[in-house]
Amino acid sequence: MAAAAGFRLGQRVHAAGDPRRAGTVRYLGPVDGHAGDWVGVDWDGGAGGRHDGSLAGRRYFAAAGERSASFARPAALSAGIALPDALRLRYRVDDFTKEEQDEMYVFSTSQKRVSVELVGKNKVWEKLKNFDELLCASVSFMGVSSIGVPEELHDLVPNLRQLDLTGNLLSQWQDIFSLCQALASLEVLDLTNNTMENDVVESPLLKNIRVLVLNNCGVTWELVENIAVPFACLNEVHLIWNKLNIITTPVGKFVKGFDTLRLLNLEDNNIDSWDEIVKLSYLRSLEQLHLNKNMIKHVMYPSNLPSPVPSDGTAVPPFEKLQVLLLGSNEIDDFPSVDSLNLFPSLTDVRISDNPIADPSKGGAPRFVLVARLGKVKILNGSEVSARERREAEIRYVRLVLGKAESTDPEVIKRLHPRFAELKAFHGIEDEKPTSRTLGPQKMASGLISITLRCVGASMGEKQPLTKKLPPTTTVGKLKSLCDSFFKLKDIKLRLFLEEEGCPLPQLLEEETASLMELGIGTGATIIVDEES
């Protein structure tokens, strides 16, 4: 056990010479049938090992995965280095490899490379002779396991504002608190891919940290509640990939505190119930809530919640200041969920892409329907909704509903399309049945819609776009026949696409029997004529 005594259970280590292969020590001692000292390691990622902590019928420890564990000689493992040493290695080397240069980019909190500044070999000696000029630093995947002597760290980088510690060996919150105390100018701290312990020791108030990134750190919501006390001035908290499918509130039904928190990122956490999100209703400063890549099926604005009364006696509505709600890549498949977004008092930026309800190929709604149903939204799925797009989308949406309204009860229309009556009145659209053939020429002309047809098929030859006036009752199948005649096409099977403002890809018009009116297509629309592949 002499050599293995240099390690402790629960310690974070990496393979010697490979800081990117990190794991946690789960066993120290002998292994049956093998001489000498051994260290049992559970490697990160659920793989990278040879077994699950048992060998030759004997269980030594329980690993996270079936093949995430292995036994290693102490000499094959590294306990890591101190943060000051990592900074010197990263920023005082005279001859950088390309891989090291790539790693010197500053990363945003969403883990995207930002070409703000590359501290490379052409700049390091001139600019960083004194480390006190270093404002942003990244020591990702360098095997950092401790902060070293706090005074040494402070003297080395006294003005550091952003620090990226992604993929290191830190685990104890006492080290993190000491780090934040030593670096009084530090505002952004990224601990992504450090397996943090869920026990928090007492700490003095840390008012300097504004952005804390804990992506894939194995943290629980109980831990988040606890660190909210020392990190009292947080503006952003990022908690991606932590399996936080349940938000446990210590007292009452709602999360309290976090008075300065403006952005909370809970992407990719296996959240499947909107009830968990409702617990965040009264975060008083929350402006952005990121919930992409979860398993949420329904959304409902919590209108009937018992509102907590603040000290000034004025009740506040749920999600009072929420402006941005990102729900991309969930499982939302119903219009009531979309319509409920109108009830959020300040919501103007919504993402619902990659949900069944927003995927026309799966029976979902095209963009114009979503724009029309979401009356206050200014940015939808990352794309700005212009005044022109909104007007055209709303008029087209009203036409779409009118095309199906003849045989539908008015009360059902009101329930299924809450904004229909409002939009119909706002745009001055009257209830008109499709134009009859018995009407005079002038009346018939007034009922036609003008659309532009544009050929793009490779075998069709070069064709000039045509603008035609057609009855709104023209079906997709009839329009295909007309295109054969308009463009003098022979023996070519056609596909028609509707080109919409704000949509990166045209919408395929699949239903042959659907009329232009039923599809909400009105004057000014552009139809792309292509050939079947």
Decide if 161 contacts 137 (C-beta within 8 A): no
Mean pLDDT score across all residues of the chain: 88
Tell me the CATH architecture of domain 449-531.
Roll (3.10)
Backbone torsions φ then ψ of 469, nearest 5 degrees: -100, 125
Q: How large a percentage of the chain has pLDDT more than 90?
A: 67
How does DSSP classify residue 325? E
pLDDT of residue 42: 97
pLDDT of residue 169: 98
What is 368-392 written as a DSSP string? HHHHHH-TT-SEETTEE--HHHHHH
Tell me the longest C-alpha to C-alpha distance in the chain: 103
Least confident range from 219-223, 325-329, 358-362, 420-424: namely 358-362
pLDDT of residue 109: 57
Is the predicted pLDDT of residue 396 greater than 70, yes or no? yes
Q: What is the pLDDT of residues 227-261, one digit of tens each?
A: 999 999 999 999 999 999 999 998 889 999 999 99
Is the predicted pLDDT of residue 287 greater than 80, yes or no? yes
Decide if 4 contacts 40 (C-beta within 8 A): no
Higher per-residue confidence, 3 vs 214:
214
Higher per-residue confidence, 97 vs 133:
133
Q: Within the chain, which residue ranges are assigned CATH 3.80.10.10?
A: 81-93+123-305+316-389
Q: Label residue 406 by pLDDT band (50, 70, 90).
A: low
> Rounded distance, CA 273 to CA 282, Å?
18
- Percentages helix, strand, coil for the chain (3-state, rounded to 5) are 25, 20, 55
pTM of the full structure = 0.81
Q: Within the chain, which residue ranges are assigned CATH 2.30.30.190?
A: 11-78
CATH number of 81-93+123-305+316-389: 3.80.10.10
Q: Within the chain, which residue ranges are assigned CATH 3.10.20.90?
A: 449-531
Q: What is the pLDDT of residues 426-466, one digit of tens each?
A: 999 887 554 443 444 444 345 788 999 999 888 888 889 99
How does DSSP classify residue 229? T
Q: What is the pLDDT of residues 334-367, one digit of tens each?
A: 999 999 999 999 999 999 999 999 998 788 898 9
Q: What is the amino acid identity at position 328? A: G
pLDDT of residue 402: 86
CATH number of 11-78: 2.30.30.190
Q: What is the pLDDT of residues 63-117, one digit of tens each?
A: 999 999 999 999 999 999 999 999 999 987 555 555 655 555 555 555 555 444 4
Q: Label residue 132 by pLDDT band (50, 70, 90).
A: confident
Is the predicted pLDDT of residue 62 greater than 90, yes or no? yes
Distances (CA, A) of 445 to 19, 31, 129, 436, 437: 74, 91, 79, 11, 11
Distances (CA, A) of 323 to 13, 252, 263, 345: 42, 25, 10, 8
In the predicted model, what is the mean pLDDT of residues 517-524? Answer: 82
Least confident range from 312-316, 390-394, 411-415, 481-485: namely 312-316
